[in-house]
Structures are given as C-alpha cells and as structure tokens.
C-alpha cells in the first residue's frame, strides 16, 4: 500500500503506538544503558530503530497518517515536563551536566558519588495500568521550550518517508496531571505555559507539520469551572496564532465520553476533535448535531484498550452514519485511544488455541481492522470478503463452548444474597476466632511472599524451558517453603505463611489454573519505564477445575503448630490486571472469578487452614473515571469479594490486603468487605493514612504496615514501636495487628530476616506497655 493511494481514501490514523517493542527491545536497551551508564549511543540507536519499525508497521497495516513524538524513552508526561523546562531544582545540576542522566534521575532517582536524588512520584494514567511520572511544580514555576524532541522526531519520520502528526500532551491536561509542592494551584500557571506551547507549534509548522495532536484526556473527567475556563483560555490562545504560523490542531479526548464537557470541547477553536466512540458511542449523535462546519472528526471506532476483534459491521455503520453528517475529508478513522495499552502483534502468538487466536486483535491488527472499515466506506465491494471473515470470527466466539459453559451459567443464576454473607456479624465472629486461634495482643504476621532470589527464578526458568523436571522444581519449592516456615518460627511470628515461592505473579499463577484464561508469549504492555506486564486474557466463563493452593497450604501447616495463613488473590485484582471479556459485564466476569475462589477458600478451610487472606490490591484502581459511576462499581466489587469469602465458618478468619493507603473515598466499601482483618500500607506516611479508618470508626481489625518493603533499608525495632504507638493512640488494642506494608518478594533474605526480627521485637515492646 503506498501513501498516495491511501491519501485519496478515508484517512486511517492512530493516536499513538506502543514504544517498548514486540520483544521488549527498549527494555533491553534501557537496562543495558543503566548498567554501563556512559554511552547513550546504543540506546538512542535502538530507540530510532523502534520508531522506524513502528512507523513502517503502522503504514503496512493500513494507517495513512502515523503519529510522531508518541515515542518516549521512559514516559511521555515526563518528556512533556522536560520539554517545557518544568524540572525541579534538585535535578538541575545533573541535568546540565548530562541531560539524559538528569532525565532518568527524574524517572527513577539517582544515587551516585554521594548524590542522592529521589525520583518524581509515579501514578496511574487514568484507569489504565500504565504509570506516569507526576511533574512537580511551584507557584513561581517558569516554562520555556527546551530541547526539540517533537520537531526532531517529526523530521526523523519525514526523512524516512513518513508524513506524521506530532503528538503532544495538551497544556491543560499537563497541568492537571501535575502536582504542586507548595499548595498552589497548577492551573494558575497556564498563562506562563502557553507561550512555550505556541512557540513549539510554530516550530512544528516550520518543520512541515500540517496537523498536531493535542491530547486532552482530562476532558473526560469531572471538571470544575476553573478547569473549563482553563480549556477556553488555552485553546483560544493557541488557536489565535495565524493559520500560517501554526499547524491545524486535533484535540484528542479518550478513555470515555465527554458527557457534560461535550459543549465545552466543541466550543474550542480547533480544526479537529477525536472522540472515543467505543466507551462513548452515545455522544456521537449529540456531537454531530452541533458539529462545527469544516471540522475534522477523528472517530475512535476500534477499542484501543482491549484485545478483541471488533464487530466491523457495526464500525462501518457508525462510520457511515458519521460521514453522512460530514464532508468526506472530514472523517478520520482511528482506535479509541493510543494503542500503548495493547500488545503489538498477534502474529507472534502461534501457540494460543486456534479459535481464541482468531478472536483476538493486538495493536497491528487493530489498524488492519480500521483499514477494512475505510475500504468499506470507499470501495464497499472490495471489503466484502474481509467483513465476512470478521463476522465469522464474531459468530464463532459467540457460539463457542469454550466461552459459554452451562455449569457456570447455572451457578451464576443461582447466586443469591446469602452467598455474600458471613454467618454472624463481625462482633460475634471475633470471640469465636480468638478462642480458636489464641493469638497474643498485637499479633505479628507477614503479607505472604518471602524473597524470590535468583536461585528460585533460575529454577523456575529451567523448569519452564524443560531443563528441570517437575519433581526437581517441586523439590526446590518444598525446600524453600520448609526453611521459610522454620525461619518464621525462629523469628517468633504468630501467624505464618508458606512464602509463595511457587508463584511468579499473583494473577498469572491463579489464571494458569483456571478455565477461561489464556496466556500470551509476548503480549507485553508497558507498565512504567522499562517495566512491562503480560496481562492474562479472560476469554471464557471462569471455572476452577481443581484446587490451586491447597497442597502448599496443607504442607506448610503440617510443618508447624502455629496457624498457617492461606493466600489467595482476590477477584477484583484478577479482573483488573487482565484483559477482560467484552461480551459480558465486568461485574459478571468478576462474579465468576469470585465463585471459583470461593471453592478454593472452602477447600482450604476443609484442609484445616484457619486463616485465609484474599489480597485485593486493585480494589481502588478499578474505580471508574467519573464519580457518578463509583457507587455502582463499588457495590459489585464489594459483593464479589464477599462471595469469595462468604462461605466459611464464623470461626475461620478472613484477611485482606491492599498495598496503598488512600482510603478516603472508598472507606464505606472497605468496611463493607467485612474482612476480619485488613493489612494496609502506612509506614511511609508514618501512620497518617490511618486517619480514614479512625474517622469512619472502622470496626474490624487492622494491620497498618510498619516496615516499608519497597526500600532495602531495615528499620529498627524502636522505629516500628514508635509507629505502633501512634496507631495505638487512635485504634483499640484489640484491633491492631503488626505486619510489613506488603510482601517481601523483592527483598533479600538478610534484609527480610532482620526487619522481621525487629518487627517481632516492636510487638513485644508494645505488649509490655499495654
Ligand atoms: N500476598 C502477596 C505478596 O505478599 C500480596 C502482593 C500485593 O499486595 N501486591 O506478595
Ligand atoms: Zn501489597
């Protein structure tokens, strides 16, 4: 396909493409550079190669216009902050000496030659599993255009024969996603920021860019009047430059419908708007009714957030409908959002089951699907075969016995409110559990995992590669489990764990044992920087063919007289960290997982396990982007947790764990989980994060983390006792547990052992004071 013949037809474009490379080439290049430090040439060459390959791939798949400056060595929000010189003072010296070192210091901290710079804070990019670096601003912040990344990458594409559309994070979203360190309002900085954007637009225009994409995903969030005013000011000013001094502007909105912000978005004086028509098809009618004459609609028709083949007939219908309201050149076809959140190429997954494979579409396939839609608009007869094939795939998925199981459907239909209820209310369960467990005041425990050292990872890799047989691998795991139990006894912990050595990942481990989950070989998605995750794909009804963890728990319990905690990953977390079905609601998929876990919980109980922990670190991140949708989500989310835990006896103790601490917005839901014990992360905030629990008079037991497991630092007993005293001031003595912030998986054995000894010592000190 050459660029000239696609130009004449309907434009197919993307808002952004994954950067990491199908084989995580960027990860490798980054890690090599971080190891040797000095020479960035190899890193920059890999980056260039990836950009080239990805432009070519997109064009070959059928994109007539490709994005540029969507690439990043680490994170696009960090790039934008650097581009406009929003660099906090602590990095400036290093930045001047070595810009690339300064950039990575902002991304990941820098410890060298007595210099110790902590990284910028990192947080989730909207409701994705991508994390961005949060720019730090102050009231006296100034901005200036620094560096030329967008221009350079545009010219790089041009030299390679690609006419690209540079992508920039828009000024209002940039400020709204930043934080200030002095309590000032970041939006107040907008007037100072806009001239730098205007200057950049002019430079891009001079370089030959006819369009620039300004990403403003914050337009799909709840906006206050000040934010709306910021949007008006920003775009009035950017558009005010004469047409000859700036490219045309495509305002990109995604991750949801604009809803009450639709009139605002339509009122902005830009030449094009991208709408997410996957999550926000409802807005199309209203938008078209008010569509300003001559403006381009970039129609986000194909789901950029999920891995399923599209219903192309439906996409064609929507595209035709839109085109009926527009001039032909005014309609562009695009995925709903950047393809950043998808694996790159399904062709690299030959070992998926054939039918599952035929239902899937990764970044490259999404563009091919769009090309079919464009063909259907431009030359309907030629698209007929491709549309028929798409129809067949959808039909095969709809009818597949692999997807739809009568036994699961029956269980779902039979679910009633009783399933999510424990027998007695918490105050009556509590003495029964205490009678059974006989725990001391301030019981000590851990969150589950113990250090996963190189030996273990090597054994696992050897086992997976067939170099170590099952019995050999098993022996490694059993030995580790046994020594872990012995160590915990020696240290004097009250509630033990088996150590989770058999798990590589808390979702994958369970997914691999459940029906309805598929796993890719190379389905990597960037999580942050060089870190990628390989989310499982939930394609069908979920069921548990056999017990998953009982063997380990039973074995570990047989080694000790102390209570052994059973360890499971909760239904929300399994859902949230997977690609999920789009042919039923998230709530229903989650209920199916909850039912499978419920069976596991009951099997653990039957095996003599008296305490079972169901981890839900992803409960909060599942919150929808708009507040109106929160309650509905929390209702089913809480219900799913309760289904998984609800079957046990009143004397069996259910724990849960969440490795964060912003509970302010979700406190009623956390209480409604009705776990007997919850452990949370609090050590870094020095217990301030308990406030929400105190204010809401959280009734059940809490283990506020006293050991920050994210750091190699080993805290002393006195320090942990100090934290516990703070917690004791606001919580009842009989409410408090003593534990680390999270699992010990990433620590080494000497650190873990020393920290746990100190932790047990801290609990003893507190007991003496009680
Ligand atoms: N039980 C898990 C562990 O200890 C919990 C991990 C998590 O909360 N992310 O590793
Ligand atoms: Zn955790």
459 SS3 class? helix
> For position 5, what pLDDT does the model report?
38
pLDDT score of 2 more than 70: no
Q: Is-contact 680 661, C-beta < 8 A?
A: yes
745 lines ligand 1 (CB under 6 A): yes
Q: Which residues contact 67 (CB under 8 A, 6 or more apart)?
A: 13, 14, 15, 16, 17, 164, 165, 166, 167, 213
Closest-lying ligand 1 atom to the alpha carbon of residue 503? 10
Calpha distance 179→187 (Å, rounded): 10
What is the rounded distance in angstroms from the CA atom of residue 16 to the CA atom of residue 164?
A: 11
244 vs 706, residue with greater confidence: 706
Q: Which residue has the tokens 């798990």?
A: 503
- Mean pLDDT across 503-514: 95
State the Cα angle at 61 between 59 and 66, rounded to 5°.
35
pLDDT for residue 319 is more than 50: yes
- Judged on CB neighbours under 10 Å (0-12, 13-18, 19+), 415 is middle
Q: Ligand 2: distance of its center to the CA of 765 in Å?
A: 26
Return the SS3 of 12.
strand
Name residues whose C-beta falls within 8 Å of residue 383's C-beta, 6 or more positions apart in sequence. 316, 372, 373, 375, 376
Residue 3 has pLDDT above 60, yes or no: no
**Which whole number is the average pLDDT over 704-726?**
93
Q: How far apart are CA 526 and CA 73, in angstroms?
A: 12
pLDDT value of residue 6: 44
pLDDT at 1 (0 to 100) = 33
The share of the chain scoring above pLDDT 70, in percent, equals 99
Least confident of 4-18, 214-228, 289-303, 588-602: 4-18
Q: pLDDT of 350-398, one tens digit each? A: 999 999 999 999 999 999 999 999 999 999 999 999 999 999 999 999 9
Give pLDDT, residue 511.
97
Mean pLDDT, rounded, of the chain: 95
Whether residue 84 is predicted with pLDDT greater than 90 in this model: the reply is yes
The stretch 204-218 carries a mean pLDDT of 98
C-alpha 741 – ligand 2 centre gap (Å): 7
In this model, does residue 7 exceed pLDDT 70?
A: no
Pick 148 or 1 by higher pLDDT.
Answer: 148
Q: Which of 767, 753, 764 shows the shortest CA–CA distance to 491?
A: 753
Q: Given ligand 1 and candidates 615, 677, 739, which is best to mutate, with the most ligand atoms within 8 Å of its CB?
A: 615
Look at residue 20 in the predicted model and tell me its pLDDT: 97
pLDDT digits (tens, 9 = 90+) for 579-606: 999 999 999 999 999 999 999 999 999 9
Per-residue pLDDT, averaged over 705-725, amounts to 93
Q: pLDDT for 515-553, tens place per residue?
A: 999 999 999 999 999 999 999 999 999 999 999 999 999
Q: What pLDDT sits at residue 368?
A: 98
Of 129, 445, 448, the one to substitute when testing ligand 1's pocket (max ligand atoms within 8 A of C-beta) is 448
Beta carbon of 617 within 6 Å of any ligand 1 atom: yes
Q: How far is the CA of 486 from the centre of ligand 1 (A)?
A: 21
The angle at the Cα of 32, spanning 27 to 35, to the nearest 5 degrees, equals 125
At residue 496, the 3 state secondary structure works out as strand
pLDDT band at 4 (very low <50, low <70, confident <90, very high): very low
165: closest CA among 271, 88, 31?
A: 271
Contact between 412 and 588 under an 8 Å Cβ cutoff? The reply is yes
Say what the pLDDT of residue 690 is.
78
**SS3 label, residue 223:** coil
Q: How confident is the model at residue 753 (pLDDT cuts 50, 70, 90)?
A: very high
pLDDT over threshold 80, residue 38: no
- Range with lowest mean pLDDT among 234-238, 729-733, 757-761: 729-733
Residue that wins the pLDDT comparison between 660 and 170: 170
pLDDT digits (tens, 9 = 90+) for 653-691: 999 999 877 888 899 999 999 999 999 998 877 777 678
- Binding residue positions for L-methionine: 447-449, 500, 615
How does residue 116 score in pLDDT terms, banded at 50, 70 and 90? confident
Average pLDDT over residues 5-28: 89
Binding residue ranges: 24-27, 124, 129, 447-449, 500, 531-532, 577, 615, 621, 657, 659, 681, 742
């Amino acid at each position: 396909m050459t660029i000239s013949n696609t130009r004449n037809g309907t434009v197919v474009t993307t808002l952004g493409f994954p950067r990491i490379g199908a084989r995580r080439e960027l990860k490798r290049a980054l890690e090599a550079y971080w190891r040797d430090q000095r020479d960035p040439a190899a890193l920059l060459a890999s980056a260039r190669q990836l950009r080239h390959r990805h432009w070519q791939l997109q064009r070959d798949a059928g994109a007539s216009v490709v994005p540029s400056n969507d690439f990043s060595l680490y994170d696009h929000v960090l790039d934008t902050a650097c581009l406009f010189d929003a660099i906090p003072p602590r990095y400036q010296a290093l930045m001047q000496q070595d810009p690339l070192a300064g950039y990575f210091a902002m991304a990941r901290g820098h410890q060298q030659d007595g210099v110790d710079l902590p990284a910028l804070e990192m947080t989730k990019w909207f409701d994705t599993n991508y994390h961005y670096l949060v720019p730090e601003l102050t009231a006296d912040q100034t901005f200036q255009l620094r560096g030329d990344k967008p221009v350079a990458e545009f010219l790089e594409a041009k030299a390679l024969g690609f006419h690209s559309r540079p992508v920039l994070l828009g000024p209002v979203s940039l400020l709204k996603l930043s934080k200030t360190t002095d309590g000032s309002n970041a939006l107040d900085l907008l007037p100072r920021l806009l001239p730098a954007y205007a200057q950049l637009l002019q430079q891009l225009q001079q370089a030959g860019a006819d369009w620039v994409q300004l990403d403003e995903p914050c337009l799909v969030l709840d906006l206050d009047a000040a934010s709306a005013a910021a949007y008006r000011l920003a775009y009035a000013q950017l558009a005010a430059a004469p047409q000859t001094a700036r490219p045309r502007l495509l305002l990109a909105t995604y991750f949801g419908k604009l809803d009450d912000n639709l009139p605002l978005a339509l009122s902005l004086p830009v030449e094009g708007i991208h709408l997410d028509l996957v999550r926000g098809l409802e807005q199309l009618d209203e938008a078209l009714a008010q569509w300003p004459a001559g403006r381009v609609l970039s129609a986000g028709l194909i789901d950029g957030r999920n891995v399923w083949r599209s219903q192309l007939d439906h996409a064609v219908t929507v595209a035709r409908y839109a085109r009926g309201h527009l001039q032909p050149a005014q309609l562009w076809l695009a995925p709903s959002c950047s393809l950043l959140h998808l694996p790159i190429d399904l062709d690299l997954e030959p070992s998926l089951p054939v039918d599952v494979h035929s239902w899937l579409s990764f970044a490259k396939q999404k563009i091919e699907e769009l090309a079919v839609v464009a063909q259907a608009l431009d030359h309907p007869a030629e698209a007929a075969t491709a549309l028929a094939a798409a129809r067949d795939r959808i039909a095969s998925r709809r009818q597949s016995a692999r997807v739809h199981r009568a036994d699961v459907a029956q269980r779902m239909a039979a679910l009633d409110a009783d399933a999510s209820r424990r027998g007695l209310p918490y105050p009556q369960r509590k003495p029964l559990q205490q009678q059974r467990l006989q725990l001391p005041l301030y019981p000590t425990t851990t969150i589950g995992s113990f250090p996963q050292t190189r030996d273990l990872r090597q054994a696992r890799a050897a086992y997976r590669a067939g170099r170590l047989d099952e019995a050999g691998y098993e022996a490694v795991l059993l030995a580790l489990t046994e020594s872990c139990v012995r160590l915990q006894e020696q240290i004097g912990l009250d509630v033990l764990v088996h150590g989770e050595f058999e798990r590589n990942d808390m979702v994958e481990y369970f997914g691999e044992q459940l029906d309805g989950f598929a796993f890719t070989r190379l389905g990597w998605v960037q999580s942050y920087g060089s870190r990628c995750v390989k989310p499982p794909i939930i394609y069908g009804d979920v069921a548990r063919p056999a017990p998953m963890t009982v063997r380990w728990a039973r074995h570990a319990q047989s080694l000790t007289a102390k209570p052994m905690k059973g360890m499971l990953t909760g239904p929300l977390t399994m859902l949230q960290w997977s690609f999920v079905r789009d042919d039923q609601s998230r709530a229903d998929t989650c209920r199916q997982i909850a039912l499978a876990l419920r069976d596991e919980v009951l099997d653990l109980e039957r095996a003599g396990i008296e305490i079972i922990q169901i981890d839900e670190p992803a409960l909060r991140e599942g919150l929808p982007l708009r507040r109106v949708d929160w309650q509905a989500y929390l209702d089913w989310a809480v219900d799913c947790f309760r289904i998984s835990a609800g079957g046990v006896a009143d004397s069996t103790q259910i724990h849960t764990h969440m490795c964060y601490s912003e509970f302010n917005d979700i406190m009623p839901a956390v209480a409604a989980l009705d776990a007997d014990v919850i452990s949370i992360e609090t050590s870094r905030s020095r217990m301030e994060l308990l406030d929400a629990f105190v204010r809401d008079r959280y009734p059940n037991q809490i283990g506020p983390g006293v050991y920050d497991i994210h750091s190699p630092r080993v805290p002393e007993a006195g320090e942990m006792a100090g934290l516990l005293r703070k917690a004791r001031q606001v919580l009842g003595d009989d409410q408090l547990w003593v534990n680390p912030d999270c699992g010990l998986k990433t620590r080494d054995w000497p650190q873990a052992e020393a920290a746990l000894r100190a932790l047990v010592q801290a609990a003893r000190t507190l007991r003496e004071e009680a």
